[in-house]
Amino acid sequence: MTAPLSYLQAIRDAQIEEMERDPLVIVMGEDIRSNIYGSTGGLFERFGADRVLDTPMSETGFVGCGIGAAMTGLRPIVDMGMASFLYCATDQLVSQAAKNRYLFGGQARLPITIRAGLFYNRSNAGHHADRPYPMFMSVPGLKIIAPASPADAKGLLKSAIREDDPVLCFEDSTCWPCREVVPDGDHLEPIGVGRVRRRGTDATVVAISGAVLAAESAADALSKEGVSVEVIDPRTLVPMDYDLILASVARTGHLVVADPANRTCSAASEIAARAAEAIFDSLKGPVIRVTTPDTHIPFSRAMERQLYPSAERIAWALRKTLGLARLQKAV
């Protein structure tokens, strides 16, 4: 039987397998050789300096280099380290990676994968604790994945590396301790297809990235009260599997969306809006978002921990949409 893999082991294995499969796949970015984040150990020793490149700490520079490499035939995996560093390379991502295939009339392909870690809830304070995936969701030309489990992390990353379009891969550090058995062989998960993590009949929780674990805990708590909760993990934010989400909500009549990003213009906001537009007549209660307030992240761990979606907050939102909130204190 295959031993369970951690989230980071799954990421590392995905990169190794794709580099072995395709000599055009390269890895570049900050601190690759030193394996500071735990997902690139042994890559340099295995594949050498031509395919594993430690870059200067200039995000604009090495993301631009990766885009150019992709347009000339390589398949770069660009390791940003922290997702907050994406801001430094926003012009390259938005003005070049997202647009060039369109602007060149389809003559150029952009098979580049950008890996970015979400380092929130770790006392990293304001500069390093952002969850910036919503701002990139509105950029045409970018695909976005946000796996919450080791199997999905491996399968989606492998699919992203094989894509001919740019893919941003957001890896939630709160999921790193998770371990599970990952299918043997060439394990791929399709981009754009969500996953039902738990079946239910009374309410639907759509949970983004690290909020999946909290949503499952909330569903466990509600099951003891006789409430059956369906938990959906979209896995891909662009393109989003709205067919799966809307079918579930139409069946249960109640929707809670849990999203670690800031509340305004979040993935949760878009999902809530789609539900209100498409299946309003099926809703039996208010659509409730459980998100992070629009505030800077404090250094204090005790203060920071209260900001993000938790099992308690999600459970309260479920009770509220089901008309049971009067029995519980708001959290």
**Residue carrying the six token digits 């809703």:** 283
The angle at the Cα of 238, spanning 236 to 239, to the nearest 5 degrees, equals 90
Catalytic residue among 127, 128, 187, 254: 128
> Does the annotation mark 128 as catalytic?
yes
Strand partners, 144: 168, 238
Helix residue ranges per DSSP H, the chain = 7-21, 43-47, 59-71, 90-91, 100-103, 125-128, 133-137, 150-162, 211-223, 242-252, 267-278, 301-305, 311-321
Measuring CA to CA, which residue among 279, 226, 221, 225 is closest to residue 255?
Answer: 279
Q: Count of CB atoms within 10 A of residue 82's CB?
A: 18
Residue with token string 């604790």: 129
DSSP characters over 305-325: HTTS--HHHHHHHHHHHTT-G
33, 44 Cβ separation under 8 angstroms = yes
Give the residue from 209, 229, 232 showing the smallest Cα distance to 221.
Answer: 229
In one-letter notation, the amino acid at residue 60 is: T
Q: Which positions are annotated as active-site residues?
A: 128
